[in-house]
Amino acid sequence: MRHRQSAFFLITALVILTTTVALGLVTVTRSVTELAGSSRFSATHRAFHLAEASMDAALVNFQGGQLNDLVLSTMAGGSYWATVHPVGTLEYLINGHGLQGVDQRDVEAVVKLTPRSVFQFGLFGGSQVIVSGQAITDSFNSSLGAYDPSTAGDAGDVGTNSVTAGGITISGSIAINGQLAVGPGVADPNSVVVISGTALITGSPPVESQSIAMALPPISVPEGLTCEDMVVSGQTTLLLPSALGQHCFHDLTVSGGGTLTADGPVKVYVTGAFTASGNTVIGIPLDPTAMLLFLVSNEQATFESSLTGSTEFYGGMYAPSATIRIASNAQVFGSVVAQAVDVSGDAQVHYDQALGALSEPIGIYDTEILSWREP
C-alpha cells in the first residue's frame, strides 16, 4: 500500500509540476508575443511620426523656396526623407517617408504654393538692421486707405536673417510698433538683439526667431533698358510713364523739392547710387504698391544710398547687395529691404501691408495642402 500511495503522490506531483511548467511557458510565450507586438506597434507608430516630420520639413523648405527633395535625416533613433515632384503650376506632390528599425511608413500630400514678395517687413536687413535716435515704425494698409497716424497699426516689424549678436542693434528712444524678427533656428532670439537706451517694442513676444530665412534674390536690369544718370531738383517733377512699365537710371538723385512719380505701376532700376534729400517726394502717395525701386549691384557698383531731410518715399525699396540709410526726418510709406539697413534721427517707417501681398520679388511662399493621405 505504501508503495502505491508513494507512486500516486509522485505521479500527482509530476502532473502538477508539468501543468505548472506548461502554464508558465504559455504565460511567458504570451508575454513575449505581447512585448514583441507592443514593440512593433511602437516602432510603426514612431515611423509614422517620422514620415509626418519629413512632410513638415519639406513644407518649411517650400516656404523658403527650396523646391527639391529632402535628404535623409535622422531623429529619435529613426530617419526620414522625402521626394518632390511638380504636378502643376506651383503645385507639387511630396512623398514623405519615415523609417524606425525595419518599419517604414509613408505619407503623401499635394501642396500649392503662393509666392509673396520680399516686402514682409517695414525694415529688413539680410545681415543687419541698425535703428537709433527717435525713429518710429508702425503700419497701415494702402488698399484700405491712406496712412492715418491716429489709426496706425502695429505691424511695423523689423527683421534680419542674422543669427549672431548685433544682427539688430537698437539705441536711443525709438518706438517699434511691431516685432523684431531674427534669423531661423535661434534658441534665444534676444541674443541677436543689442538694445541700449529706451526702446518701446509693442509686439508679443517682442523678439522671435523666424521659421525660415527671407530669400533675397538678386536683381538684374531687364534687357533693352538704357540706364543714364538722372537729377531731379529745384521744384521739378519727373513723371515716369507706366506704359513703359520699367525704367532704369545709373546714378539717381532727387533733391531740393524735386518729385519723382509715375502715372501708374512702374519698376525703377538703379545701377549706381541713389540719393534723395531736401523736401522731396518719391513714388505715388495714393498707392505705394505702384512704385518698386530696385538698387542693382554690378561689378563696379558702390551703394551709399540714403534718404535724408524731409524726404517722403512711397513704395517698396529693394537692395539685396546694398546698404540703405534712412536719416533725419525722412518718412517711408512702404517697405525697405536691403542687405543692411541703417535708420537714425527722427525717421519714420510706416509699413504698407499691401506690399506684402505682391508676388515679386519672391521672398517667401505660402503653402496650402490640397490633399493628404497615407498610401
Identity of the residue numbered 354: A
At residue 321, φ and ψ (nearest 5 deg) are: -120, 15
323 and 269 within one domain? yes
Structural domains counted in the chain: 2
Residue 193 has φ and ψ, to the nearest 5°, of -100, 130
Residues 144-172 as b/e (b if ≥16 CB within 10 A, e otherwise) read: eeebeeeebebbbbbbbbbbeeebbbbbe
Sorted by sequence, the CB contacts under 8 Å of residue 224 that are 6+ apart come out as: none
- Locus of grid cell 542693382: 296
Cell numbers placing 342: 541703417
Determine the pLDDT at residue 6.
59
My answer on whether 302 and 216 are in the same domain is yes
Q: How far is CA 231 from CA 84, 234, 252, 300, 312, in A?
A: 50, 10, 6, 21, 17
Instruction: Choose among 61, 81, 88: nearest CA to 371.
Output: 88
Contact (CB, 8 A) for 199 and 190? no
What pLDDT does 166 receive? Answer: 96
Q: Could you tell me the CA-to-CA distances from 235 to 108, 171, 259, 367 in Å, in that order?
A: 61, 35, 7, 47
Query: How many CA within 13 A on the CB side of residue 70?
Result: 26
| Same domain as 243, residue 164 | yes
Q: Are residues 323 and 212 located together in one domain of the fold?
A: yes
88/59 same-domain check: yes
Q: Rounded to an integer, what is the distance from CA 29 to the centroid of its chain? A: 55
Give me the domain span that covers residue 80. Answer: 2-116+365-373
Classify residue 264 by its DSSP letter.
S
Does one domain contain both 50 and 85? Answer: yes
Whether 203 and 320 map to the same domain: the answer is: yes
Q: Assess whether 245 and 139 both reside in one domain.
A: yes
Q: Same structural domain for residues 307 and 222?
A: yes
d(CA 119, CA 266): 16
Residues 85 and 149 in one domain: no
Per-residue pLDDT tens digits of the chain, which is 375 residues long: 555 555 555 666 565 666 665 565 555 455 544 444 455 557 888 889 999 999 999 998 888 888 889 888 888 789 999 999 999 999 999 999 999 988 899 999 999 999 889 999 999 999 999 999 999 999 999 999 999 999 999 999 999 999 999 999 999 999 999 999 999 999 999 999 999 988 999 999 999 999 889 989 999 999 999 999 999 998 899 999 999 999 999 999 998 889 999 999 999 999 998 888 888 999 999 999 999 999 996 433 333 346 666 789 999 999 999 899 898 888 999 999 999 999 988 899 999 999 999 988 888 888 999 999 988
Nine-digit cell string for 53: 516630420
pLDDT given at position 24: 57
Q: Which residue has the cell 561689378?
A: 299
The verdict on 228 and 141 lying in the same domain is yes
- Grid cell, residue 70, equals 529632402
Residues 86 and 211 in one domain: no
Distances (CA, A) of 356 to 4, 125, 194, 369: 100, 16, 27, 21
